[in-house]
Chain A
Amino acid sequence: MTGPIKGYAGYQLRVELGTRVSRVEPIDAHTQRKFLGGASYAAKVLYEEMPAGVDPLGPANKMILATGPLSMSNIPGGGSIMLCFKSPLTGVWGESRVGGDFGPDLKKAGFDYVIVEGRSETPVWMMIDDGVVEFFPAEHLLGKTVAEKSALIREQVGDKKLSILCIGPAGENLVKISAVMSDDRAAGRTGGGAVLGAKNLIAVAARGKHKVEAAEPERLKTILRGAFAEIKDNPMFVGMKQYGTIGDLAGNDDGGDWPSQNWKSNSWGKGPELFDAYAKNNFIKGFGCYHGCTMACARWVHVADGSYKTPEHGGAEYESISCFTAYLLNENMDAAVHCTWLCNEYGLDTISTGAVIAFAMECYEKGLLAPEQLQGLDLTWGNAEVLPDLVKAIALRQGLGDILAEGVRRAAAIIGNGAEKFAVHVKGLEGPAHDPRSGKALGITYATANRGMCHIQPLEGMAWDRGKLDWGLGKYGVPDPNTVERWDEQGKGAVVQLLQNGLVLPDIIGTCKFYMYGGITIDHWADFISALTGWDMDGAEILKAGERAINIQRLFNVREGITARDDFLPERVLTQPAFGKYADEPAVVTRDLEGMLAEYYAARGWDPVTGAPKEEKLAELGL
């Protein structure tokens, strides 16, 4: 090879924290074309390099920071990076995406991937500066919030714009629902914060002047210009820019897609007034989470005064706010904005934190919490006052917070007395704020997504079935969603596997998924990658790479003991809503999950009992 492959920085950095030895390894074109990057290449590395049964919080677990070929600020959605590891929350495949400039800046520092191994004896933070790695003591950062840590690191280096990934106190305390933060943006799900905390790696910063070379720079410029012009009037693009993700609050409540009171219902009826309160009192402006984002769905918000006074910050995302309102029957939007900000600053996943609190409130309602566990906390549904203290208690593992810090599955096992019946999770990951009682495809995606009941991979089930989007996948076999009734079940298993193959792509090519909602299709992605790398890929080839990614992650999970029995939906989700608009609508309840999953496995080429990809499928995918 005569130099780095086009379109990539061309190298991965391997860091062993115990010895502080780092190695620069070239990446090869054949492997990259096959896996592309992000959560796909990282799955290959983790599957090949890490044996089954590794303790997620032990030194043998690896944390991979993985960009994709399109993680560049001139690409639609290119401010993106994936964190991949074995999850301490679920014990299986763990991944989490974060927006912001860290992804593009890592490439500028000279690397597509960072593979973090081992464990440092003492707390450190790591600087990747134009190809050079340096470690700094981090004792002084311990216990500090994310904003405080980031400010101290930037001050130390004298670089106000330095891109940083860091953990909060929750990650330091090995909270299983802890996040890795990039300022206001979160790699929230599956407990990556605890993985870094266990490694004593408190933060990673990256910068540099390396330029990724495109194979056909002029062509790339032209097609990018065309794509940006094409999407700017796309209704989804316009809607996201104007309203952000939180704009869905009222519509999702009305559409039965708003899990309420720990999933007792799929609607609550308070969405419109909560959205109005947010628009009036909390919203300041929209912004892009990385330099170059034109969709700019991120929201700049605050609470001006009162007991939930909160400084201006980027936040109030749909999922986060839903988990701190409807999940808890909390009608106080200021409290929700405040608590989601607290989660960010303490380094907690907003979704799982809202979910474990909802679970705790139900335990309280049912009298399952002992006085010594409660320590005087009033966990009545809707009690906003208790929320900030409880969020902090989870991050600091104090009192009841220590149990909730384990996530709902373990917390239910500790509390016992039937609590597992209303611990809403799949594969150990707490459910987010979309409800399959709004459309059946979502149930299949929840049951089968590799990281569990997450809000990223499963989204497309909801958005195809109820939102009637097809992301240009019609030509690859996805039926026109306008011909599909959202309550129907038959045929959806086969569709879901196609949706998953297509919509996993942003997480492997290094972009923000919302651009696919805003009009960028897989054919656009294929064009961008081709102009960058010179590979001449088409939509079908990258769709195949999406399928390969899902399969190798599944292989990882199967090796950790996952079978078809782990592809389930929690009982709550399969139950008639107890209140709200759909309480008397029997069609919302899934009648035949097994039948839908049988269709899904057949379409996937997976064994319906073991849940493992069959030999023919693996051969077809070159795995």
Chain B
Amino acid sequence: MRVKVQAIGDLREYFGRDPVEVALPDGATVRDLLDTLDMRLGARLPGYLWDRETRRFKGPVLLVVEKKAVQDESASLADGIEVRIMRAIAGG
């Protein structure tokens, strides 16, 4: 299966302006996607953004599917969906 990964805002500086297509085995989970992102991009993501040990985002950066933050790493992903990477910016 394939999912599209699209970074939002200035995170595109690290993930690219256009969506990245990621191939995953059928039935892949959020954890599988994070592992794949680590393999493909982990080395060039800044330390404050990405924890290479746990292969997770650091700070308020979230994976978003259909406008909802995905917090359960064991959740399955569906073929063809778009996963957004978004920074929670409020800062007041």
Given contacts A272-B48, A319-B91, contact A243 B59 (CB under 8 A): yes
Tell which of B46, B47, B69, B91 touches A235, judged by Cβ atoms closer than 8 Å.
Answer: B69
In chain B, positions 30-51 with a C-beta closer than 8 Å to chain A are 46-49
B60 vs chain A, min Cβ distance (A):
4
In chain A, positions 502-516 with a C-beta closer than 8 Å to chain B are 513-514
Given contacts A254-B46, A468-B9, contact A463 B68 (CB under 8 A): no
Q: Please, which residue of chain B has its CB at the minimum distance from the CB of A518?
A: B90
Given contacts A254-B48, A466-B10, contact A238 B92 (CB under 8 A): no
**Is B87 engaged at the interface, CB distance under 8 Å to the other chain?**
yes
> How many Å lie between the Cα of A275 and that of B47 in the bound state?
12
Question: Do A251 and B61 have beta carbons less than 8 Å apart?
Answer: yes
What string of 1s and 0s marks CB contacts (under 8 Å) between A229-256 and chain B? 0000111111110110101101110110
**Is B54 engaged at the interface, CB distance under 8 Å to the other chain?**
no
**Is A517 engaged at the interface, CB distance under 8 Å to the other chain?**
yes
- Which residues of the partner chain A approach B49 to less than 8 Å between Cβ atoms? 250-251, 254
A219 vs chain B, min Cβ distance (A):
25
> How many Å lie between the Cα of A459 and that of B64 in the bound state?
23
Given contacts A247-B59, A251-B59, A254-B48, contact A486 B88 (CB under 8 A): no
In chain B, positions 10-66 with a C-beta closer than 8 Å to chain A are 10, 46-49, 58-62, 64
Question: Do B91 and A318 have beta carbons less than 8 Å apart?
Answer: yes
Question: Do A240 and B88 have beta carbons less than 8 Å apart?
Answer: yes
Question: Do B59 and A235 have beta carbons less than 8 Å apart?
Answer: no
Given contacts A272-B48, A486-B10, contact A245 B90 (CB under 8 A): yes
- Which residues of the partner chain A approach B61 to less than 8 Å between Cβ atoms? 239, 251
- Which residues of the partner chain A approach B87 to less than 8 Å between Cβ atoms? 239, 251, 467
- Which residues of the partner chain B approach A272 to less than 8 Å between Cβ atoms? 46-48
Q: Please, which residue of chain B has its CB at the minimum distance from the CB of A295?
A: B90
**Is A469 engaged at the interface, CB distance under 8 Å to the other chain?**
yes
Q: Please, which residue of chain A has its CB at the minimum distance from the CB of B64?
A: A235
Question: Do B89 and A466 have beta carbons less than 8 Å apart?
Answer: yes
B11 vs chain A, min Cβ distance (A):
9
**Is B3 engaged at the interface, CB distance under 8 Å to the other chain?**
no
Tell which of B9, B48, B62, B68 touches A250, judged by Cβ atoms closer than 8 Å.
Answer: B48
Given contacts A455-B92, A467-B89, contact A238 B8 (CB under 8 A): no
Most buried by B among A238, A275, A297, A319: A238
- Which residues of the partner chain A approach B47 to less than 8 Å between Cβ atoms? 272
> How many Å lie between the Cα of A240 and that of B47 in the bound state?
21
Given contacts A251-B60, A271-B48, contact A239 B88 (CB under 8 A): yes
B45 vs chain A, min Cβ distance (A):
11
A334 vs chain B, min Cβ distance (A):
20
Question: Do A238 and B71 have beta carbons less than 8 Å apart?
Answer: yes
**Is A299 engaged at the interface, CB distance under 8 Å to the other chain?**
no
**Is A417 engaged at the interface, CB distance under 8 Å to the other chain?**
no
A74 vs chain B, min Cβ distance (A):
23
> How many Å lie between the Cα of A98 and that of B30 in the bound state?
39
A623 vs chain B, min Cβ distance (A):
28
Question: Do A275 and B62 have beta carbons less than 8 Å apart?
Answer: no
Question: Do A239 and B60 have beta carbons less than 8 Å apart?
Answer: yes
**Is A392 engaged at the interface, CB distance under 8 Å to the other chain?**
no
A533 vs chain B, min Cβ distance (A):
28
In chain A, positions 447-466 with a C-beta closer than 8 Å to chain B are 455-456, 459, 462-463, 466
> How many Å lie between the Cα of A319 and that of B49 in the bound state?
21
Tell which of B46, B60, B64, B68 touches A240, judged by Cβ atoms closer than 8 Å.
Answer: B60
> How many Å lie between the Cα of A162 and that of B92 in the bound state?
27
> How many Å lie between the Cα of A318 and that of B90 in the bound state?
9
Question: Do B69 and A463 have beta carbons less than 8 Å apart?
Answer: no
Q: Please, which residue of chain A has its CB at the minimum distance from the CB of B88?
A: A239
> How many Å lie between the Cα of A133 and that of B10 in the bound state?
53
Question: Do A233 and B91 have beta carbons less than 8 Å apart?
Answer: no
**Is A604 engaged at the interface, CB distance under 8 Å to the other chain?**
no
- Which residues of the partner chain B approach A361 to less than 8 Å between Cβ atoms? none
Question: Do A235 and B62 have beta carbons less than 8 Å apart?
Answer: yes
> How many Å lie between the Cα of A257 and that of B89 in the bound state?
11
> How many Å lie between the Cα of A234 and that of B84 in the bound state?
12
Given contacts A235-B68, A254-B48, contact A433 B88 (CB under 8 A): no
Tell which of A243, A255, A438 touches B60, judged by Cβ atoms closer than 8 Å.
Answer: A243
- Which residues of the partner chain A approach B48 to less than 8 Å between Cβ atoms? 250-251, 254, 271-272, 275
Question: Do A234 and B67 have beta carbons less than 8 Å apart?
Answer: yes
Question: Do A252 and B69 have beta carbons less than 8 Å apart?
Answer: no
- Which residues of the partner chain B approach A434 to less than 8 Å between Cβ atoms? 91
Given contacts A243-B59, A243-B60, contact A463 B89 (CB under 8 A): yes
Q: Please, which residue of chain A has its CB at the minimum distance from the CB of B47?
A: A272
**Is A482 engaged at the interface, CB distance under 8 Å to the other chain?**
yes
- Which residues of the partner chain A approach B9 to less than 8 Å between Cβ atoms? 255, 466-468, 486
Question: Do A236 and B91 have beta carbons less than 8 Å apart?
Answer: no
Question: Do A459 and B91 have beta carbons less than 8 Å apart?
Answer: yes
Most buried by A among B9, B69, B90: B90
- Which residues of the partner chain B approach A463 to less than 8 Å between Cβ atoms? 89-91
In chain A, positions 478-525 with a C-beta closer than 8 Å to chain B are 482, 486, 513-514, 517
- Which residues of the partner chain A approach B91 to less than 8 Å between Cβ atoms? 245, 248, 252, 257, 318-319, 433-434, 459, 462-463
Question: Do B59 and A459 have beta carbons less than 8 Å apart?
Answer: no
Question: Do B62 and A238 have beta carbons less than 8 Å apart?
Answer: yes
> How many Å lie between the Cα of A315 and that of B53 in the bound state?
30
Given contacts A239-B62, A243-B60, contact A318 B86 (CB under 8 A): no
> How many Å lie between the Cα of A233 and that of B67 in the bound state?
8
Q: Can you list 29 A-B pairs, Cβ within 8 angstroms, ordered by A?
A: A234-B67, A234-B68, A235-B67, A235-B86, A236-B88, A236-B90, A238-B62, A239-B60, A239-B87, A240-B60, A240-B88, A245-B90, A245-B92, A247-B60, A248-B91, A250-B49, A252-B89, A254-B10, A254-B46, A255-B10, A271-B48, A272-B46, A318-B92, A319-B91, A433-B91, A455-B92, A467-B9, A482-B8, A486-B10
Binding site for B on A (CB under 8 A): 233-240, 242-243, 245, 247-248, 250-252, 254-255, 257, 271-272, 275, 297, 317-319, 433-434, 438, 455-456, 459, 462-463, 466-469, 482, 486, 513-514, 517
Task: A238-B62, A251-B87, A466-B89 are known; give 15 further A-B pairs, CB within 8 A.
Answer: A234-B69, A235-B88, A236-B90, A239-B61, A245-B91, A245-B92, A247-B59, A247-B60, A248-B60, A250-B59, A252-B91, A255-B10, A319-B91, A319-B92, A467-B89
8 closest cross-chain pairs (CB), A and B: A239-B88, A272-B48, A467-B89, A239-B60, A233-B68, A238-B69, A250-B48, A247-B60
